[in-house]
Every structure is written in structure tokens, then in C-alpha cells.
Structure 1
Amino acid sequence: MKQTMRLFVVALVAGAVTLGGYKYFIEGENTSALPQQERQTNFIPTSFSSEVNGTSLDLTEAAEKTVHAVVHVKNTTLSREPSNIMEYFNGGGQPREMVGSGSGVIITPDGYIITNNHVIANASQLTVTLNNNKTYQAELIGTDPKTDIALIKIDSKDEFHYIPFGDSNNLKIGEWVLAVGNPFNLTSTVTAGIISAKGRDLNEFDGNPQSFIQTDAAVNRGNSGGALVNTNGELIGINTAITSETGSYVGYSFAVPSNNARKVIEDIMEYGNVQQGILGIRGTNLNSKSAEQFGVKQTQGVYVAGIERGSGADKGGIKEGDIINSVDGIQISKFSDLTGYLGSKRPNDIVNVSILRNGEERVVPVTLVKLETYEIDYLGLEVKNASKTDLADRGIPNGVIVTKALTRDISQYNLAGVLITNINDEKVSSIDDVKQIMAARNFNAPIKMTFVNQKGETNTFIFR
């Protein structure tokens, strides 16, 4: 009997140990799977979700707000093609009609439309078609080829849908945007993407710095002049360019910031031309190589390489060797950031320039001065009015300053900085004098230009 009881106790203990081990090792592992599964559900899947950081992202409202305010712009131009050798040499021929197209954005209820200059260039007739297929003849109000912005207008008794301007200075990289336009002559088309970069300069080496918004929203031929809008349906850019070996979209597109475009069209409406305010500096981008060259530690910002006498920068106290790292709180990492921000300002505006000098940061208020230049297309030169100080330095009573060469052929002569004193033996004291002389010249005769270089030496060029 005792033996039976002993065997029963042993069996009971063994069963308890077995059951306890099963509970601990087997079921214990299984119970940890549920919390792990719950933790996994907190990860955002790779497929698109309408919930981003707990906020619903709905682009349909922005599309509905903007699609009816983006129009199709048809540009009709007339060209003459010679039909015989005499017409080839003497001009003439049968007129030939050529048609181009692009997009535009209605910005006021009474029909003002902003578009690209290259969309309407050389137009003999402009036709605008709305998203509801209504067609209007448009009037050209003004253009600015440098920013590639143009303003046109259509008229109607009814008010038009329009897109309000947003603040392009507040854009953030990674922010969702919509591109609205008429690619490939289609009706209004909406594509979505994000802000890929700001302050992009596509003409870094041609002396005409630009500052584009870069986005990966699909933009193709015909989108030019169309709207780049944020999720609130506000206009934050005018789609202008793509970079592509094929001529079609390959991943990046570029837009003129809305603050710059707005300033251009407001200037056109108020003054008839663009009023450009400048600091009055010559600058260069900083990187590891240039920082070593200039003997500074900073690899971002704009290094001030020169100051224009009498300019706002000169009067404000900016000096050669200063490093500009922000303006009005807007970070300046490269020269296109600076030109992009100043492109939304006017002469006599005051900006607060944050500079680094000898390791110390200071803020300098600068009053912008008006940039007054004139492009002498025939000579391939851009000139500006000379200050009294410029003239006194070289001991001459009159002249205009060459700011830059417009062609590669002319750039080899290094004329930037010289003072033109006479054109065709006529005295030149301002860019207005240059305009009048060039307009009245004999177009079949060569041009004689007298100038004084930086050393005070007088020379004469004959342009044929």
C-alpha cells in the first residue's frame, strides 16, 4: 500500500512539473506574440495612406479650388518665309501662321492672368480657353523676360474663378503640392508631388542667377505658365521649366516662386516695367574649396567679394569679406537664395541682413537701391548708369558702366566694369542716351564705341 502511494505521489509531482513547464515555456511564448502584433500595427505601411501624422491629407479640395482658374493659352504668331532668292535677300514672302500653347492662371475675378513670357512671346493673337470650354481673346498687359513672367487679361460680364496667392517664403521641403496645367494640349490636368528643393538656379554660370522651386509633380510641355498650389489651394509658384534630355518630364520640374511672380505683375500693372531692388554687392557661394580660398570656416552662405559704391550695402556698412547667412530671417545658403528673396522686394525697401564678420554675427539694415540697366542687344552688352564716384575715380565727366557681356563672343574681351563714354561719337551720360543713340543709328553702318577701362585708359572699338 505504501509502495502504491509512493508511486502515486511521484506521478502527481511529475505531472505538475510537466504541466508547469508547458505553461511556462510553450504558452508563455505564445502570449508574447499578441503584443508584438499590436506593436507592428503602429508602423505606417509602404502603401499610400490618407493619414499623415494623424492628419487627413485630402488633395481633392485643393484640386477643386484651382482647376477652374487654370486656363489654356494659345499663341498665334505670323512669320514670313521667302519663296524665291530675291525675297530671301530683300525680305518678304507669304505670311505663315504658327500656333503654340501653354497654360495660365487667373489671379483676379476680373480676368487678369499670369503666365510665362515664353508662352506668349511674339504673339499676334492670344486665345484663352477656360476649363468649361469658353474661349476669350486676351490682351497682353506686360512681360518680364528675365523672370519669364507675363501678364495678360480677358474680359467678361461675369466674374472668373481665380486662385489667391500664397506665401512662397513659407514653403518647406517635403510639403505636398499640386501642379495644374494643360500638358500636351489636354484640358486641365492635376498632378501631385512634394517640394524637392528651394532656391534652385538653372543658370548658375550665365550671369543671370535664378531661384526656382523644385518639385517632383509631373510637368510636361503645355504646363508652362500653369499653377503650383499648396494643399490649401493657394498659388505658390508658376510652373516654368523642366530639365530633360528627352524634352518630357523625367522626375523634376521648376516653378517661379509666387512672391516673385506677384511682385513682377504688380510692378507691370503699377509702373509698366519691373522695379528691381538690389543690395549692391558682388558675391559668391561658399563651399569647402572657396572657404579655403577666402580663409574662412563657413561652407554655406554668400561671401561678399565686392561692394558697389553708393549702394545700399555700402551705405549700410556691409564690407568686403562679410558672409551673408540670412535676410529678414530667411536663411541664405547660396547666392540664388539671396537673389530669390530680393526678387520679391522693391527699391527703397529696407531688409535686415545678417552677416558674419571676423567670427561675430551682426544684423545690418540695408535700403535697397534700384537696378537700372539696359541691354544693348546689337553689341551684346548690358550697361547701367554710373555714379558720380565712378566717374570721379577715372577722372571723366560722363559715361555708363558695362555690367556684363550677353554673349560668349563679347565675354572674351572682359569689358565688364569699363565705362562707355561715346557711341558713334555721341556723348553718353545715361542709359537713356544709349537707348536714343541705338534707336536712331543707321542699321547698315558699323558702331563705334569709346570706353575707359579700370586703369583710366581710353580705347575705341568698332562693331560691324
Structure 2
Amino acid sequence: MNSPSLKINILIFFVAHNACLISSWGQETTADPAPERITKTVQIIKNSLSSVASIQAFKESGTPGVYNVQAGSASVIHESGYLLTNDHVISEIIQGNAILYGRPPLPFKTIARMSSEDLAIIKIDTENPLQPLPIGRSNDLMLGEPILTIGNPGGLNHSVSTGIISGINRSTSTGAAFLPWMIQTSAAVSGGNSGGPLINALGEQIGTITSKQLGSENINFAIAIDRVREVFPQMLSPELRYGFWIGVKIDMYDPTAKILSVEDRSPAQKAGLVAGDIITQIDQSLVKNGFEYLFTLINRSPEETLKIEYIHEKEKRKLGLTLSELELLDPVPEEGMKPGIHFEAFSGKWDKLPDFNSLKTVKEGTVKIPTEQAFISESGEDYGLRFTGFIKIKDEGLYTFKLSSDDGSQLSIGNQLLVDNDGLHAVTSAVGLIRLRAGMHPISITFFENSGDQKLDVSYEGPNISSQQIPPEVYYTK
């Protein structure tokens, strides 16, 4: 065993040993507390503790053999061991542990990440089912509404703080992501609370703690749970991740796993599922909502047959559904390619991306990478850019493309609009996922600047590629 491995193993043992002591010390009681002490808040905390995990993330320190330990939090989102946390908590980790209340640390693996939303799904393996936190809604929040948080501030496992909702529709950033539509809360949090749940008076998770305003007291932010509901299918993307096609879109805002739409000629349509049907079970797994539906699709593969139980117009039914292979875009021949990407510049004032085909080009050429610097008008405002070319994909697999821009932008692979970041806004990021074969693939990026600052950055991550700006050697043109 080499020195770095020895050091990190000793460190993990030390942290794990002390975590067990912290979790178990002081839990023994000699008498039942007076009923007056068991308030509604105390009961919610008691019911929620087993659904919250403290996170230990081990990261490189820059010194060989020495690792930094970063504290974070997570909430149980599925009984099979899936946890919801922040992306910034688990990004660039060497390994990590999750500590459930009263239990020893368990190693986790990362299932899915969405850096643009600062969200991630991790998984621990447990012998017995876990207790998920009930998932609430954030569409009807009230200022002054009581809330509480459970987390790991300063490495102090399962610490509780209370407060109120002190603001809605706020915006903040984590350094890696600009996050609009946030919940502001007065509940005291610190860095170790990141990824933990914001819980309402019904004991439901209504947000995920993500940041605090430095230099201010009790100004803290959580990602609204309705935003989690919205982006969750894209973040998990089981069809793209595992290469199969089922063709069902679930209503993530419905309390059941209600089918919102079924794709034409998809396996789901061929099996007989229609919009409005409610899926209740897949194989041996009960399905109570959209989250559970998506989790049942993890690690599935083409040609696998699912036994589905569902409700059609109040009638319980069963069917078998065979997953088909996900069709991928074919790469194009590399003959005649040269490094760079072609750009066209346009002049005009817009509040969303125009139809560039109908506009006159004011300048064109080839650049190494697409940025806002390819062309800037004399005023620095009222111009647009269209980049067209090809990207070279080294390995087949799932790729995440990220557009950060001020103002609007879009990215397409082939004829598929993959990332839509259109509209007037400050620097905002959006992502899209796609499964690609190795080889050359057409890419198109459009961008416009109305007024103020301008920014365009295109990044990606994929097999053996950490999140990074797409480098010049990946772009080609004819």
C-alpha cells in the first residue's frame, strides 16, 4: 500500500470513528420527557433525522498524500439509498462518506450531477430501506412561514436550526453557477449545511440549502424544491445515461407518477401507455411519484422487459414493456476538416435570438473557440453571433454541454437543440445532455448581446473528461 492510500485510510478511520461517537453519545435517556416539551417542531425533527445525511468529501489538497475533508449535507430522496445534495459538495472528490443518524459512515458514489443548478445525486448501499423525506412544493410559500434545517455545519453531524422564510425568488451564485428562483431563509447555516434540506411545518422538504451571503447575518439561500422537480429528469436522464428508450414523460409536479406525454412509436406507446395513465409499480418496485419512477430506470438496458402496473381511467392494469436501444446520431466523415470554428456576425437589437438566416452578415471568419470576443460591435451592444462547425468526440458516452452567456444563447448538436439559454439576462448557465458516438458531430452555437456586459462560454464534460471549457483541439470546420 502506498503512502497516500495509507494516509487517507487512516484519516477516514479517524473521522468515521469520531462520527460514530458523536452520533451515539448522549442519546441514552433515563426518563420520558414531559409531553409539553414534545412540540410540533421537536416531532418534525425527530421524524426527519433519519432522512438526513452528513457528508464527508475528501479532496486533493495540492500536497501529495494529504487530503482536505469538506463537510456537507444531503437528504434521503429514495429508500434504495439515493441522496440529494449540492454539486459543489461532491465535485472533484477522491472519495466520500455519508453518515446517517446514529449509523457509521458509508461510502457513496456519484450517480448524476448538474453543475449549472448546483445539484447532485449520490448513492449509498444499505441492507435495509431508508426513510425518504416527504417532498413538498414551493409554489405557494409564505413570507414568515416557519422552517428548519438539519445539516452538518462545521462537521457537527445532524445539527438543527430554525427560522422563517424571509424572501422568495431571490438569486445567488456558488462560484460555479448562477442560481435564480431561490428561497431566502433566516435559519442559521454554514458551509457544512450545503446540500441539506429546508423543511416546512409539515415535515416536507421544500428546498436544498446551497449558500449564504457572506458578511451578513442570517441571509441564507436554498434551491426551491419545485426547481429540483423541474430539472430532475434532465439531471438523472436514465435513457441517455444507460442507452435505452422508453418514451415516457412524467409530470414531476403531480403527487403520483402520472404520465404527461408518450413519444410516437416509442416502446411505451407500443405497449399501450397513454397520457394520463398513472404508473404504480415497475417489477418489484412500488412507484409513488415521478422521482421514484426515474430511479427505477437506473441501470436498465436495451431489450430488457419491464413489468408495469398502472391505473388507466381508475382501472388497475398490467403490461409488459420491452426497452429499445436509444438511437444515436451518426458521426460525419472527417475528410476536409481543419481546426477552428466558423463564425458569422450580425447587427441588430433583440430581446431573444433572431432568425439569423434572414439577416445580413456584417463579418465572418474562423476562430479557435466560440466566445463573445469573436466580434464586438463598436458600441459593445446590439450584435449577434452564429458559430458553425464540428466537434470531435473521442469516446462514446454521455456528454453534458454547458452554455454560460449574457445575453441569450443556444447550442445544437446535429439538428437537435440541446441547450436553450435564450432571452435577456445577466450571466446565466444552462445545460443539456446527449449520448454521442465517437467521431465528428456538427455543432451550432448562437448568441446575442443587447446591452451591458457580454459573455459567452461553452464547456462540456463526458467520459474521461472533467468539466472544462471545450478546448481548441476539439473544434473543426470545413
Sort the TM-score into its range (normalised by shorter chain): 0.3 to 0.5
Per residue, is there more helix in 1 or in 2?
1
Name which one, 1 or 2, has greater alpha-carbon Rg: 1
Per residue, is there more strand in 1 or in 2?
2
